[in-house]
Structure 1
Amino acid sequence: MSQAPGTAIWLGDDGNLSQRRLSETYTPTGSDTLVGVKYSGINPADKKHFLMGLHSFIAGYEFSGIAIAVGPDSPFQLGDAIFGINRPQHQRPASLGAYQDYAITEAQAFFKIPEDMGLKKAAVMVLVAQTVLNGILNCLKFGLPCARGGASGVGVAAIQIAKAAGFGPILATASPQNHQALCDIGATQYFDYKSPTIITDIRSAVEETGMKLRVIFNAVVGSADSLDPNEQPPFKESTPALAKSYCSDEDQPDNLKLTAVLPIVKDPSYKHAMCWRPYDALDFIGCPQDPQAPFRVRKAMEWLMQDHGAH
């Protein structure tokens, strides 16, 4: 199958999206694969990462499609249905963007689609799953968890994966209309995030378990909470500060394990749960990392693929 000219969505240096017509064609090398994109996943990170200095490239990270050309070391074959996520990077190569008709896949975070999954579902799975796995395995390193923003895409994945990994009890915050859905996927207890008594409600619930709440996965930290100085509310009113106040040992930060989907500049006790980390690197986008971190995530993703319907 030949690669025809196509269109793409561009993230500019002003943070705005625009449509572009492409004449460039891509050739896979090494372990890369050229894919005819069928579906692209839409995520808040597609624009929020602009606030981290990532822009001037074809937008989008995750997609699914059909392999139409393969590099000599690619793990895939022509005609394979595959899905996954490419790396975040400032001014990354145009070939890696998800919002275009054809794209190059990097083998690190791409997978062959299970027969019972389908292209559409696959296109929106990897970014949230890898964010959660990185948060749980590499940032939190386990504990009694509370998912702030449980009904968000990452929050839903966090609850499902935490349950599958044997966590419990699992506390979650969300709007009341989402509470039963969170219970159905594994949340033990749920709380209205807008309630004026949410802090005492959560602390009382934790006391009844006889355990300590020392682990927070903040799945909905907003850009104004952590990155944009022109729009920030007082930090004590931000979602990271509120979520931290749920903890049993709030005044003893060394006892807490906190992670969020964006870097929390004003509270370094929060670790950044990234959707993608490079192999064998000691840092990524200015953040130090354990070089084994991405290997743990890959292994866990393969575990999820084995029985994705159960999670």
Structure 2
Amino acid sequence: MQYISHQDQQLAFEQTDKPKISSNEVLVKVAAIGVNRADCMQRQGKYPAPEGDSPILGLECAGTVCELGSEVDPKWQDKRIFTLCAGGAYSEYVAVDAQQLMELPDNISMAQGAAISEVYLTAFGALFELGKLQSGQTALIHAGASGVGGAAIQMAKSAGAQVVITAGSDEKCEHAKSLGADHVINYKTTDFVEYMKAHNLSANAIVDPVSGRYLNKNAKVAAMDCQIVMLAFLDSRFAEVDFARLLQKRISFHASTLRNRSIAFKRALRDAFVARFYDDIANQKYDFNIYKIMPWQQASEAHAILEGNENSGKVVLLVE
């Protein structure tokens, strides 16, 4: 099969054998690939694959099941699916744990399917599993025009929450508003702490891929018993922390990643997400928030879009 290698930070097509599947896995013929910042970091040598996972890039895809492991329910044969991958999606075929598969409805394209798994499962885990967001509460979502941000906005609104987002341009703020955000803040022109205080807003759950200097600012706008969920540290990996404020408001701070979680964790997360939000996805109640669809021959250009922070929403590669 063909796959995209990442030697010396350069992406190039190479040939290798199809993956051999375990008894609990299926082989998926890949039709579309969701591009993530983690792919860029892995290409740069900053985010190696966990031991046992495929060294090939790619954490999510949509495609068709073409081979079943011995323990897999026969119902999956030839099904259109979307799924997380333990690496390996930048290829014509990828091996996937069958219990993480989600069926792709006929009315949703492969490109749309490839834009769902990583961002929706990440946002779901952050907002609801860790963030404990409830109807009538307020969610603060940083990088609100990102793939995870767009998924978080839409699920939070479905759950009856108020949504405040930050983003780095007026255009990105308008994009987030179109997805349902109630308050949008261009952090380059407006301090989100001042805005939220002026509008009498406090956050019950905060989804934060920025970290660094944002930690103390988040604490200033946090409601009592707020859950702050850190997904990355785009600002800085270090910060001085005002522990008195954290104690005063009984703030809980979570550092969360998805890639290096156990298979059991990912299965449980998938099941909880499907039980609550799959019907909304199948009925296309959400905007799948795709910024650009590109042929996989343009994978380098796709990475450049993410690294330049150009995109509002997901970039998807079509396997052609």
Instruction: Identify the match of residue 126 of structure 2 among 114, 132, 135.
Output: 135
Going from structure 1 to structure 2, the CA distance change for 1:255 and 1:300 (only over 3 Å counts) comes to same
Contact 2:132 2:205 in 1 (8 A): no
Percent of aligned pairs with the same residue? 21
Kindly state the Cα deviation for residue 37 of structure 1 after the two structures are TM-superposed: 1.0
2:92 maps to a residue whose letter is D
Q: How does 1:29-44 map to 2 (within 5 A)?
A: 29-44=22-37
Contact 1:218 1:243 in 2 (8 A): no
Unaligned 5+ runs, structure 1: 1-5, 88-95, 226-234, 281-290
Going from structure 1 to structure 2, the CA distance change for 1:105 and 1:243 (only over 3 Å counts) comes to farther
Going from structure 1 to structure 2, the CA distance change for 1:70 and 1:297 (only over 3 Å counts) comes to closer
1:82 maps to a residue whose letter is I
- Matched with 1:62 is 60
- Matched with 2:160 is 166
Aligned equivalents of 1:107 and 1:17: distance in 2? 31
Q: Deviations over 1:181-206 (max 9, x none)?
A: 3223221111111124432112211x
Going from structure 1 to structure 2, the CA distance change for 1:27 and 1:243 (only over 3 Å counts) comes to same
Give the match's secondary structure for 1:256.
strand
Instruction: Identify the match of residue 258 of structure 2 among 275, 278, 301.
Output: 275
Going from structure 1 to structure 2, the CA distance change for 1:138 and 1:110 (only over 3 Å counts) comes to same
Going from structure 1 to structure 2, the CA distance change for 1:199 and 1:176 (only over 3 Å counts) comes to same
Going from structure 1 to structure 2, the CA distance change for 1:201 and 1:307 (only over 3 Å counts) comes to closer
Kindly state the Cα deviation for residue 27 of structure 1 after the two structures are TM-superposed: 3.2
Give the match's secondary structure for 2:141.
strand
Aligned equivalents of 1:157 and 1:279: distance in 2? 23
Aligned equivalents of 2:19 and 2:46: distance in 1? 29
Q: How does 1:288-307 map to 2 (within 5 A)?
A: 295-307=268-280
- Matched with 1:259 is 229
2:215 maps to a residue whose letter is A
- Matched with 1:145 is 139
Give the match's secondary structure for 1:259.
strand
Q: Deviations over 1:105-132 (max 9, x none)?
A: 1123221111211211001110000100
Contact 2:3 2:16 in 1 (8 A): no
Q: After TM superposition, which residue ranges in structure 1, 4 or more long, deviate above 6 angstroms?
A: none
Aligned equivalents of 1:194 and 1:31: distance in 2? 48
Going from structure 1 to structure 2, the CA distance change for 1:241 and 1:69 (only over 3 Å counts) comes to same
Going from structure 1 to structure 2, the CA distance change for 1:295 and 1:261 (only over 3 Å counts) comes to same
Aligned equivalents of 1:297 and 1:101: distance in 2? 24
Establish whether residue 46 from structure 1 lines up as the match of residue 46 from structure 2: no
Contact 1:148 1:243 in 2 (8 A): no
1:158 maps to a residue whose letter is A
Q: How does 1:128-277 map to 2 (within 5 A)?
A: 128-142=119-133, 143-167=137-161, 169-174=162-167, 175-205=169-199, 207=200, 212-219=202-209, 221=210, 235-236=212-213, 240-241=214-215, 244=218, 247-248=221-222, 255-262=225-232, 265-266=237-238, 270-276=253-259, 277=261
Aligned equivalents of 2:29 and 2:269: distance in 1? 29
- Matched with 2:4 is 9
- Matched with 1:229 is none
Aligned equivalents of 1:260 and 1:248: distance in 2? 14
- Matched with 1:124 is 115
Greater alpha carbon shift after TM alignment, 127-136 vs 181-190: 181-190
1:218 maps to a residue whose letter is D
Give the match's secondary structure for 1:83.
strand
Q: TM-score, normalised by structure 2?
A: 0.71
Q: TM-score, normalised by structure 1?
A: 0.73
Greater alpha carbon shift after TM alignment, 154-163 vs 68-77: 68-77
1:59 maps to a residue whose letter is L
Does 1 or 2 have the higher relative contact order (CA < 8 Å, sep 6+)? Answer: 2
Aligned equivalents of 1:27 and 1:54: distance in 2? 18
Going from structure 1 to structure 2, the CA distance change for 1:77 and 1:145 (only over 3 Å counts) comes to closer
Kindly state the Cα deviation for residue 245 of structure 1 after the two structures are TM-superposed: 5.5
Going from structure 1 to structure 2, the CA distance change for 1:59 and 1:194 (only over 3 Å counts) comes to same
Give the match's secondary structure for 1:190.
strand
Q: How does 1:91-110 map to 2 (within 5 A)?
A: 96-110=87-101
Supply the RMSD in Å over aligned alpha carbons: 2.8
Q: How does 1:81-96 map to 2 (within 5 A)?
A: 81-87=80-86, 96=87
Aligned equivalents of 2:253 and 2:10: distance in 1? 30
Unaligned 5+ runs, structure 2: 242-251, 287-320
